[in-house]
Chains A and B, each alone.
Chain A
Amino acid sequence: GQSLEQPSEVTAVEGAIVQINCTYQTSGFYGLSWYQQHDGGAPTFLSYNALDGLEETGRFSSFLSRSDSYGYLLLQELQMKDSASYFCAVISGGYNKLIFGAGTRLAVHP
């Protein structure tokens, strides 16, 4: 089967750094994406990793290790507006088809 594992909940305080891990087991692998979704809203794209290493976009960074089938999303200088669910998603079969994890709910407190 195909599966992605990520923690269900993470809690942090404003200004802190938080890392959300994702491990995957899929029949094929083209890349790992991260999406953010606020309650009741649409998912929005954050980052994409096809090769090993770190991709940085402002306060958010994403890392991939293909040999370990593992990636993470790093959020720095946390703000209250970062409270949302974060989903990792694998492109496993081409055609840009995504397989999503169950999501990590991040709560940022003052």
Chain B
Amino acid sequence: DGGITQSPKYLFRKEGQNVTLSCEQNLNHDAMYWYRQDPGQGLRLIYYSQIVNDFQKGDIAEGYSVSREKKESFPLTVTSAQKNPTAFYLCASSLGQDNQPQHFGDGTRLSIL
């Protein structure tokens, strides 16, 4: 079945460490997105990509980096510069046009050791 796969489901980071969250989709979607969700809050956009080898900062990009070398993959790196990384991270994809729904992965829960 087509869908979005995020891994790992749970991730722990040590102080000063970079970690990378994986996001893969087989929906043949052009656009991909990364969101951060804090408890009891809505989703905030970190980065998005409309096509391969191109991506744009969202509202809270500081301390994060991404790459889009393949259409199917959009990994997110949480760098040591992100001082409050504990959150639920959600990856999504869509066909890219404004009226198309975004399809979400099951998320990665990141915590600090």
Contacts and interface: CB of A to CB of B under 8 A. Distances in A.
Contacts of B104: 42-44
Contacts of A31: 98-99
A96 B96 contact: yes
B48 A97 contact: yes
Contact of A45 (B35, B42, B44, B102): B102
B100 interface: yes
Interface residues of B, number: 27
B90 interface: yes
B101 A97 contact: no
A99 to B, nearest CB: 8
B60 interface: no
A100 to B, nearest CB: 4
A43 to B, nearest CB: 5
Interface string B66-110: 000000000000000000000000100010111111111111000
A84 interface: no
Contact of B96 (A48, A50, A95, A98): A95
Interface string B40-52: 1111110010100
B31 interface: yes
A50 B99 CA distance: 8
Interface residues of A, number: 25
A75 interface: no
B98 A102 contact: no
B63 interface: no
A48 B101 CA distance: 8
A41 interface: yes
A91 interface: yes
25 contacts: A33-B101, A41-B107, A42-B90, A42-B106, A42-B107, A43-B90, A87-B42, A87-B43, A89-B42, A89-B43, A95-B31, A95-B50, A96-B31, A96-B94, A96-B98, A96-B100, A97-B45, A97-B48, A97-B58, A98-B33, A98-B43, A98-B45, A100-B42, A100-B44, A103-B42
